[in-house]
Chains A and B, each alone.
Chain A
Amino acid sequence: MNAISSEEGQAKAAPPTSGKADQNTADDAKAGHAKKAEAVRTESRKPDAGNSGNASDAWKLYEVFIRPRRGVNHSHVGSIHAPDSDMALRNARDLYTRRQEGVSIWVVASNDITANSPDEKDSYFDPAGDKIYRHPTFYDVPEGVQM
């Protein structure tokens, strides 16, 4: 809960800070910094955070990765909400390993994932379409080798 509250606080406090910095005086920059710190404190104590009515606004989204058994990679299985990563791990355990689906869980905040934009699909992936020589299809496979 702390992590997310302070993050919200920083996001909301950012505009006044940068506004002050524009004026280019050291004093103002300091004042802006103090103001930001204050905003962070105020935001992190706001009474609604963690209240059931507002929980969906306050809780972050996490992506869940499960390793089904030893020697196999973790795979993405879905996402969950949680106030922080500790609770995310527990929530993932309760939602995604109820039927012995895994031996190991990773959670990562969805915000921390950098993904390509769907708009870039053409420039990202189409160029690979006509480069058939990248596929290992030009070799004679010796007899007995399993593909």
Chain B
Amino acid sequence: MSAHVLPDVTRADQFAYIIRLADDNLVYSHRLAEWIAWAPQLEEDMALTNIGLDLLGQARLMLTLAGELEGEGNGEDDLAYLREEQDFRCVDLVEQKYLHEFGNEIARLLVWSAYTVPLYEGLLESRNATLAEIAAKGIKEVRYHLDHAVSWVTRLGDGTEESHERMQKGLQDVWPLTADLFAVDDLLERMMRAGIAPDMERVEAAWRSIVTEAIERATLTVPDVNPRHGKGRQGVHSEHLGYALAEMQYVHRLHPGATW
């Protein structure tokens, strides 16, 4: 596809970068979908799974784009359902299973959507035009996700003693895992220099200001914990991903190419 040809950037690099974005969205959408029928109320079942569906929609567009860049004839389904665990490039944060720990899930939604809002704002300027279009579509969605997360953090943090405690515990648990979102390796460095990825220092600064304001307004404390760097971007994952993929890929592998 000529649209993706940039003289100074290889298609392989663009594929490798975009598959990271896609896998984060895909795996997190699966985690949110698991909440159906388990959230505190039917209404929140719908809210969380709606957000999951938004992320799935973004993942599909990114996987399709990644497949075109890869140039091996893989479509979105091939990439989502037929890759092995070590081919995935998502971060540990999205792999964690927080089902039944509502405080943790809301904490993750806060740190995640406070990351995607400035990320997509930066991607609007990406030299990969298709990626910029995906960000333009996604930005409205992720702004709502952030709004939803912030409103819950406020309620739980500034609610009862127990809700405050559990919200703070959620923040403590997710905090070390946020480091991976902003970690710049050689690939990301090249993508930033080429104008494909946004400046991650700016994204992180915007993220920090959003989460700090939300947490302090909710009478909670910004955790002071050491970052825990995972190896998800290199394909080495937490123990949770394999189980998630088994469930997610099972039907497609049992009935390859089935449609409904």
Contact = CB atoms under 8 A, between A and B. Distances in A.
Interface of A: 1-2, 5, 44-52, 55-56, 59, 80-84, 86-87, 90-91, 94-95, 98
Contacts of B147: 90
A19 B151 CA distance: 40
Given A45-B161, A47-B161, A81 B42 contact: yes
A91 B41 CA distance: 10
A63 to B, nearest CB: 14
Contacts, number: 60
B159 A49 contact: yes
A27 to B, nearest CB: 33
A99 to B, nearest CB: 12
Nearest to A88: B43
A57 B47 CA distance: 20
B107 interface: no
B162 A95 contact: no
A67 to B, nearest CB: 19
Interface of B: 39-44, 46-47, 50, 102, 147-148, 151, 155-156, 158-163
Contact of B162 (A2, A51, A59, A91): A51
Given A50-B155, A52-B102, A90-B151, A81 B160 contact: no
Contacts of B102: 52
Contacts of B40: 50, 52, 55
B43 A81 contact: yes
B50 A94 contact: yes
Contacts of B46: 91, 94-95
A90 B41 CA distance: 13
Contact of A91 (B47, B156, B158, B159): B47
